[in-house]
Structure 1
Amino acid sequence: MARPRILVVGAGFAGVGCVRRLERRIPPGRAEITLVAPFSYQLYLPLLPQVASGVLTPQSVAVSLRRSQKHRTRILPGGAIGVDPEKKICIVQKVTGEIVDEPYDILVLTPGSITRTFDIPGLPENARGMKTLAEAAYVRDHVIAQLDLADASEDEEERASRLQFVVVGGGYAGTETAACLQRLTTSAVKRYPRLDPSLIKWHLIDIAPKLMPELGDELGKAALDVLTQRGIEVSLGVSIAEAGPEKVTFTDGRTLPCRTLIWTAGVAASPLMATLERETVRGRLAVTPELTVPGLDGVFALGDAAAVPDLTKGEGAICPPTAQHAMRQGRIAADNVLATILHQPLHPYVHKDLGLVVDLGGHDAVSRPLGINLSGVPAQAVARGYHWSALRTGVAKTRVLTNWMLNALAGDDFVRTGFQDQKAGTLKEFEHTDVYLTPDQIREHTAPLHAVH
């Protein structure tokens, strides 16, 4: 009997969690496991704001796949750009640009999400994201460059535009990004004697009426108080009407001189999911509680790109796109893949959210572990303890802990590396959203394969 070919797409929390459990539970030689991943690491996404602010080095949050996996999984360096479920072919673009066809018997889709954007004039050209490691490194360089250029400029209008920073998105990513980067500029400006600290302005805006509504009114207000006390101007019920290279216009009519627009206004499912031509829920592929895709043999989907029913809430609720759910869905998916191979019943995904943590930098944080509201130092201890324990390797844990200690003792650093000076820094450039095939292109591509068979 031929060994079943298990193909896992994506090396985020869900994909890596699935592969690790498959390696533990499937006996050697019983199946072939392939992981499609564009990078040789799993990105610990919740700590990206600390990379952007320089508290952590990029390597600290890039958890090596070679260390976290055993040697049984074949890692294919590339990204899936289309799926033909009828022929059981996944089309992969390798990091070299070469297109290869990967056959599978069981497909586990965990391609994650991309930054959600809207039809706003100038947004694609002038907004910067915070979804990838490269974007975090770019944003850090860009922010420090604005201080350097403002310090060197004799033009008051140019200086004003370089010292205004706008973050769009009042969720966890946007709030933490604004908080961490504001601390960076507050510390850095002391090294710029020609700059007036009062000219540096950070703005956090969101179309929602509340900041991080998932936290509840008490913690949401606590987080808002921390931000406003630091001088961050928070505007709710407001978004961007137009984004230019040197100014932004808000939907309430205000126009700000600004050369730094950081866009974190939510996420959308990977465009890969649309290539399957199946039902979606707000862009996420609809799946059963067992994580299977209805009507597709041997296809599972989970994580940010899948609309997984939240059985603990019921009434049609779906699990939010969080690392907590993705990690646990990965384990259930692995169990159900094994059950499929052994022709055993599948198990539904059921998990009650254990709480939320928001690190605002320094001693500031808000957390709600197991429904208990915390703020300040206790919340910071919980937040960092949770993130540290969630890192998969001892090397990653050591690097992060060392970075935290070094930052606490030595303070912030303000080095601009310049590694990505020649990049435009657009969302499209870093997230590669233009590589996916249409369903017609997929059928045209796999037609010769069908003819051969």
Structure 2
Amino acid sequence: MARPRILVVGAGFAGVGCVRRLERRLVPGEAEITLVTPFSYQLYLPLLPQVAAGVLTPQSVAVSLRRSRRHRTRIVPGGAIGVDTDAKVCVVRKITDEIVNEPYDYIVLAAGSVTRTFDIPGLVEHARGMKTLAEAAYVRDHVIAQLDLADASQDEEERASRLQFVVVGAGYAGTETAACLQRLTTNALKQYPRLDPKLIKWHLIDIAPKLMPELGDKLGLDALEILRRRGIEVSLGVSIAEATAERVTFTDGRVLPCRTLIWTAGVAASPLIAALGAETVRGRLAVTPELSLRGSDGVFALGDAAAVPDLAKGDGAVCPPTAQHAMRQGRTMADNLIATLRGMPLVPYEHKDLGLVVDLGGRDAVSKPFGIELKGLPAQVVARGYHWSALRTNVAKTRVLTNWMLNAIAGDDFVRTGFQLRSPATLKDFEYTDAYLSPEQVRAHTAATVIRH
């Protein structure tokens, strides 16, 4: 009798958490596990701002899948571009651009999310994201390049535009990105004696009325005070109306000469979800508390791609797209798959909030572990301790800790690698948002391949 085939799509916190638990708890030979991912690593997303600032190297937050797996999972190097739930086939575009079918008995959709954009003139052409390792590396090179070009320029207008930086989105990603990169440019001034410190200006804007409202009023105000004390101009209730290569127009009418626009204003579920043609909640796949898709046999979803009911809050609330939820859902997902294989009842996903941590660089941080409000150095110790402990492998923990120590002792470096210098750098170039098939294309593809074979 053939072994059941479990196909996991995505190697983020949710997907890897599910696979690792399956490897530990399944009896050898009980099922075949396949993981579909374009990269051979799990990205530790919360530390990307520190990669952009050069505090951490890209390799230190790219946790190897080969090193941590137990040699029971087949890894397909590619991205899922469609799913035919009737035929039980996932369509995969391999990194060679070859399109193949991966049949399954059970599929776990942990495809994650992409940067959410809006119909703002010039946004997708000129904004840069902070969702992938390539984007973080690009943003670092770009920011340092602006300092180099401003230092070399004899044109005062050009110099002013290169030294204005705008980050849209005052959530965790945007706030930490603005804070870490502002610290980098401030520390860089010793290397650029010709630059006027007053010309370097970071702007953090958000249409929301509060900075990181999840922190609560007190810690939110503490974070706001830290940012403004460091010279970051925070504008709430404001977004951008238009972006060009050399300026940004705010919705309040301000026009800033600016050549760096970083967009972190929320996330949207992977476009793969639309390829299913199933019910969604705010773009995320509607699933049961047990993480299964109603009406589809053997289909499960979790993490940023799924609207998982938040049983702790009730009233129709769904879990926010955070790493903390994704990791825990991955474990519940694995347990429910094993229960399905063994004919046992499934368990709903429930959680207890562990709190929040926000690393603002240096000794600046705000944290709320188990409801205890902290700021400054104690908050920084909690924030970095949490991130360090969440890294899956000892190699990754050693690299991150070594990087932190080196940065604390030797300070920042301002090397521009140039790896992405001539590469397209729009959001879709880094996040491949136009690579997916429609439900009709998926069905036509699977029907054609079944006929051929």
What is the TM-score when the length of structure 1 is the normalising length? 0.99
Structure 2 partner of 1:448: 448
Structure 2 partner of 1:171: 171
Query: In 1, Cα distance between the equivalents of 2:452 and 2:152?
Result: 65
SS of 2:268 mapped into structure 1: strand
Query: In 2, Cα distance between the equivalents of 1:413 and 1:21?
Result: 39
Structure 2 partner of 1:78: 78
SS of 1:309 mapped into structure 2: coil
5 Å-filtered alignment, 1:142-161, equals: 142-161=142-161
Q: Is the 8 A contact 1:87 1:450 kept in 2?
A: no
Structure 1 partner of 2:210: 210
Query: In 1, Cα distance between the equivalents of 2:37 and 2:70?
Result: 16
5 Å-filtered alignment, 1:407-446, equals: 407-446=407-446
Structure 2 partner of 1:393: 393
Structure 2 partner of 1:195: 195
Structure 1 partner of 2:356: 356
Say which is worse superposed, 441-450 or 324-333, in terms of deviation.
441-450
Query: In 1, Cα distance between the equivalents of 2:374 and 2:78?
Result: 41
SS of 1:226 mapped into structure 2: helix
1:23 deviation in Å? 0.4
Structure 2 partner of 1:281: 281
Structure 2 partner of 1:53: 53
Q: Which amino acid aligns with 2:382?
A: V
Structure 2 partner of 1:122: 122
Q: Deviations over 1:367-398 (max 9, x none)?
A: 00000100000000000000000000000000
Q: Which amino acid aligns with 1:352?
A: K
Q: Which amino acid aligns with 1:394?
A: N
Q: Deviations over 1:198-221 (max 9, x none)?
A: 100000000000000000000000
Query: In 1, Cα distance between the equivalents of 2:371 and 2:242?
Result: 39
1:193 deviation in Å? 1.3
Say which is worse superposed, 360-369 or 423-432, in terms of deviation.
423-432
1:27 deviation in Å? 1.1
Query: In 2, Cα distance between the equivalents of 1:449 and 1:159?
Result: 57
1:443 deviation in Å? 1.2
1:448 deviation in Å? 2.4
Query: In 1, Cα distance between the equivalents of 2:290 and 2:442?
Result: 27
Q: Which amino acid aligns with 2:2?
A: A
Query: In 1, Cα distance between the equivalents of 2:242 and 2:13?
Result: 35
Q: Within the alignment, does 1:16 sit opposite 2:16 as a pair?
A: yes
Query: In 1, Cα distance between the equivalents of 2:190 and 2:244?
Result: 29
Query: In 2, Cα distance between the equivalents of 1:250 and 1:423?
Result: 28
SS of 2:412 mapped into structure 1: coil
Structure 2 partner of 1:101: 101
1:451 deviation in Å? 4.1
1:133 deviation in Å? 0.2
Query: In 2, Cα distance between the equivalents of 1:13 and 1:293?
Result: 20
Query: In 2, Cα distance between the equivalents of 1:167 and 1:236?
Result: 12
1:452 deviation in Å? 6.4
Query: In 2, Cα distance between the equivalents of 1:416 and 1:348?
Result: 48
1:424 deviation in Å? 2.7
SS of 1:50 mapped into structure 2: helix
Query: In 2, Cα distance between the equivalents of 1:111 and 1:424?
Result: 24
SS of 1:208 mapped into structure 2: coil
Q: Deviations over 1:256-306 (max 9, x none)?
A: 000000000000000101111111010000000000000110011000010
Aligned length: 453
Query: In 2, Cα distance between the equivalents of 1:3 and 1:440?
Result: 30
Query: In 2, Cα distance between the equivalents of 1:196 and 1:21?
Result: 54
Q: Is the 8 A contact 1:7 1:104 kept in 2?
A: yes
List gaps (5 residues or longer) in structure 2: none
SS of 2:216 mapped into structure 1: helix
5 Å-filtered alignment, 1:283-298, equals: 283-298=283-298
Q: Deviations over 1:20-59 (max 9, x none)?
A: 0000111111111000011000000000000000000000
Q: Is the 8 A contact 1:42 1:63 kept in 2?
A: yes
SS of 1:414 mapped into structure 2: coil
Query: In 1, Cα distance between the equivalents of 2:8 and 2:443?
Result: 21
Q: Which amino acid aligns with 1:119?
A: D
List gaps (5 residues or longer) in structure 1: none
Structure 1 partner of 2:247: 247
Query: In 2, Cα distance between the equivalents of 1:423 and 1:235?
Result: 32
Structure 1 partner of 2:307: 307
Query: In 2, Cα distance between the equivalents of 1:285 and 1:452?
Result: 32
1:352 deviation in Å? 1.8
1:447 deviation in Å? 1.2
Q: Which amino acid aligns with 2:306?
A: A
CA-atom RMSD, angstroms?
0.8
Structure 1 partner of 2:220: 220
Q: Deviations over 1:47-94 (max 9, x none)?
A: 000000000000000000011111010000010000000000000000
Query: In 2, Cα distance between the equivalents of 1:384 and 1:81?
Result: 36
Q: Which amino acid aligns with 1:121?
A: P
Query: In 1, Cα distance between the equivalents of 2:274 and 2:354?
Result: 31
